[in-house]
Amino acid sequence: MNTSKHNIDPEKWVQNYADYLFTYARLKLPSKETAEDVVQETFLSAYKSAANFKGNSSEKTWLVSILKRRIVDYYRKEARRHEQNISSYQLPFYESGDHANHWIEQRAPKNWETDDQISYDEFHSILQYCLSLLSPKHRLVFIMKVLDECESEEVCAEVEISSANLWTIMHRARLQVRECVEKKWL
Q: Which residues contact 161 (CB under 8 A, 6 or more apart)?
A: 141, 155, 169
Q: Which CATH architecture has domain 86-185?
A: Orthogonal Bundle (1.10)
In tens, the pLDDT along 41-68 reads: 999 999 999 888 888 888 999 999 999 9
Q: Could you tell me which CATH number the domain at 4-81 has?
A: 1.10.1740.10
Three-state SS at 17: helix
**Separation CA 186–CA 173 (nearest Å):** 19
- How many Cα neighbours within 13 Å face the side chain of 159? 29
**Separation CA 152–CA 54 (nearest Å):** 28
| Domain map (residue ranges) of the chain | 4-81, 86-185
Q: Are 90 and 172 in contact (CB under 8 A)?
A: no
Whole-structure pTM value: 0.54
In tens, the pLDDT along 63-119 reads: 999 999 899 888 888 777 665 444 445 556 556 666 555 555 655 555 555 545 566
**Separation CA 83–CA 96 (nearest Å):** 28
